[in-house]
């Protein structure tokens, strides 16, 4: 009997700061390659919304154990484009700036990150996976065949975020968004566990002056060469 095991499905890891366009880019790369797609930030955001529902505050030490438990048991389902938390559609609720900021505070806690790890790895299925986040290439899928660090200047990212929010018919304050984004980058980069940074084996792509399609084709070109 053969003892050979089949290789694990390929992973393309796309990490980078908030509003770098990695979500759009990663899902387009996944669609073109026929791969699965993991938006790992959505999982942190769902935890943020779930902790609000449970009235748990990450700033309160007495809530830490309950938050870690919630991370391990988070009752979330991804149904097509919809994100469902215990039967409740939270697809819109997780996309607010507030949920993003809250997620970044939860993401600093190592035991919370550990609780969400296997849930992310479960997305790795044949024929392959494109995963976007902050630590896809370092912690979650260190054996990814391609690791991209996608970035853009804070100015360009804030402008994109404003367009996104206005596109939803909501009002956006550029200065406030720019400040939030810089604060979130700072927290994501400075945390002790899985900080946001390019790793020695990642390819850095600054897309400040690139269109989405150009970014997608660059990554697909790289994916085909590894």
Positions touching ligand DC (CB under 6 A) are 18, 40-41, 44-45, 100, 103-104, 107, 133-135, 184, 188
Q: In the bound complex, what is the minimum distance in angstroms from residue 152's beta carbon to ligand DC?
A: 14
Q: In the bound complex, what is the minimum distance in angstroms from residue 2's beta carbon to ligand DC?
A: 36
Q: In the bound complex, what is the minimum distance in angstroms from residue 3's beta carbon to ligand DC?
A: 34
What φ, ψ does residue 88 adopt, rounded to 5°? Answer: -105, 130
Q: In the bound complex, what is the minimum distance in angstroms from residue 107's beta carbon to ligand DC?
A: 3
Closer by beta carbon to ligand DC, 1 or else 192: 192
Residue labelled with tokens 């215990």? 86
Residues in the chain: 226
Cβ pair 196, 134 in contact under 8 A: yes
Q: In angstroms, how far is the first alpha carbon of the chain from the final one?
A: 31
C-beta neighbour count of 27 within 10 angstroms: 18
Residues 6+ apart with CB under 8 A from 79: none
Q: In the bound complex, what is the minimum distance in angstroms from residue 188's beta carbon to ligand DC?
A: 5
* Residue 127, burial from CB neighbour count under 10 angstroms (0-12, 13-18, 19+): exposed
Q: In the bound complex, what is the minimum distance in angstroms from residue 48's beta carbon to ligand DC?
A: 8
- Cα atoms in the 13 Å half-sphere on the side-chain side of 121: 13
Kindly report the CA angle at 91 between 128 and 31, in degrees rounded to 5?
25
Closer by beta carbon to ligand DC, 56 or else 103: 103
Closer by beta carbon to ligand DC, 134 or else 147: 134
Residues 6+ apart with CB under 8 A from 205: 148, 149, 150, 151, 215, 218, 219
């Amino acid at each position: 009997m053969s003892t050979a095991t089949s290789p694990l499905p390929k992973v393309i890891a796309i990490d980078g700061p908030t509003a770098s366009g990695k979500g759009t880019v990663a899902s387009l790369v996944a669609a073109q390659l026929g791969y699965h797609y993991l938006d790992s930030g959505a999982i942190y955001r769902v935890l943020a919304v779930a902790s609000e529902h449970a009235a748990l505050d990450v700033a309160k030490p007495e809530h830490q154990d309950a938050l870690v438990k919630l991370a391990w048991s988070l009752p979330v389902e991804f149904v097509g484009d919809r994100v469902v938390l215990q039967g409740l559609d939270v697809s819109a609720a997780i996309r607010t700036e507030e949920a993003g900021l809250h997620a970044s505070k939860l993401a600093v806690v190592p035991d919370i990150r550990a609780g969400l790890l296997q849930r992310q790895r479960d997305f790795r299925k044949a024929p392959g996976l494109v995963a976007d986040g902050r630590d896809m290439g370092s912690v979650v899928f260190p054996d990814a065949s391609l690791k991209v660090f996608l970035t853009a200047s804070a100015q360009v990212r804030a402008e994109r975020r404003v367009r996104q929010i206005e596109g939803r018919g909501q009002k956006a304050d550029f200065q406030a968004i720019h400040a939030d984004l810089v604060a979130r980058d700072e927290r994501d980069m400075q945390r002790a566990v899985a900080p946001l940074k390019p790793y020695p084996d990642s390819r850095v792509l600054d897309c400040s002056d690139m269109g989405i399609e150009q970014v997608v084709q660059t990554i697909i070109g790289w994916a085909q060469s590894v």
